[in-house]
Amino acid sequence: ARPTLWDTAIRRFATAVILGIGFGIKVDQDNDPFIQVAADASYALAHGGAPAGTPVDFFPFLNSLPSWLHDRSLKFAKDWKWAICNLHDKPFDAVLASEERSDSLMQDMLDQRQAQIEQGEQPELSHDDIKGAAGAVFAAGQDTTWATLTVFILNMLLHPGIQTKAQVLLDKVTGRNRLPDFNDRPQLPYIDYIVQETLRWCPVSPMGIPHKSLEDDTYSGYFIPAGSFVCANARAMTHDGRTFEEPDNFNPDRYATEEEGGLGEPFPVGQFGYGRRVCVGKHLAEASVWIVVATMLSTMNIEPVRDENGNVVVPKVELTNGLTSHPKPFQCRIVPRDERSANIIRSATT
């Protein structure tokens, strides 16, 4: 892909998966308008400040002050509210306007509502409830998958040796005659290591979703009164030097056993939340990332771009700070490894 197009391709994949499951909507083209809806919402979520970390979260009366007294985060939220509204409204309206509806989360909720109405019952879900639930799936699913894959691509640029090692292992399994699939997963632990290291190195929701303590509690000597904001600092946990050696380094081998030459470290936990509030899409997210990582490494080379003098441009590691966190824009080239790989890709897409 040209340096300006690879990001759109990744966004299209993430958007297509979530829109298909959440709304039964197919995304077939890079210029599909829903991709821009997703990109706009992603920008709003990534630049709106950390959750429960802005002044208006603690002093709600600030929202009632004249606009010229608003701080940067509140002004940004008002300026970009339209992007979040589009995320909820446009897919919902498209489904209602369609004559042919596919199985989806939203359709299940609409069917449940209609059945209750026909039975003379008060429907449990309003249209706004359905719109909000399906919109939350769209927001949470597409943005985090796109951000995780962007982190993966950045680290393949920064660590070409990891890319090469993965390609050698993939070639042994696929014989370079086909694309990898989920049946190959048990034979490809190194791909799992890359996925887990991507999730650990940059949790795309570094502070998680804020929760509220239901009762008074004490943690490590600190008193936490009921009703307090509680955030699970995923980034601090996944970069804890007591668990992960040189935690700022991207090193998939850390998960291999010591007998295999690794560090025997555990897979990270926390990036999907905890307990009853754990992300319900955890397994879908991991599977989506795994198949993209395996497919890209099997068939593509992820390469840096060069400047006008032919020098390699090394991307800077800069991350956004918001509800979701991802690398700031950078350029790269994603090209078939060779003609053999190109033919496999063509066969799979025709």
- Which residues are annotated binding-site positions for heme? 279
Contact between residue 297 and residue 198 where contact means Cβ atoms under 8 Å apart = no
- State the Cα angle at 298 between 284 and 261, rounded to 5°: 85
What lies within 8 Å, CB to CB, of 227 at 6+ separation is: 212, 213
Dihedral angle over CA of 166, 172, 177, 180, nearest 10: -50
Q: 331: buried, middle or exposed (CB in 10 Å: 19+, 13-18, 0-12)? A: middle
- State the Cα angle at 62 between 58 and 65, rounded to 5°: 175
* Unique residue bearing structure tokens 């210029």: 31
Annotated binding site: 279
CA of 109: how far to CAs of 24, 34, 277, 324, in Å? Answer: 13, 21, 21, 27
The gap from C-alpha 343 to its chain's centroid, in whole angstroms, comes to 29
Dihedral angle over CA of 44, 199, 27, 295, nearest 10: 150
Tell me the C-alpha distance between 115 and 112, whole Å. Answer: 5
Across-strand partners of 333?
A: 303
Instruction: Locate all alpha helices (DSSP H) within the chain, ordered by sequence.
Output: 6-23, 33-47, 55-58, 72-79, 81-97, 105-118, 127-158, 160-174, 189-201, 234-238, 282-299, 339-349
The gap from C-alpha 67 to its chain's centroid, in whole angstroms, comes to 33
Contact between residue 89 and residue 83 where contact means Cβ atoms under 8 Å apart = no
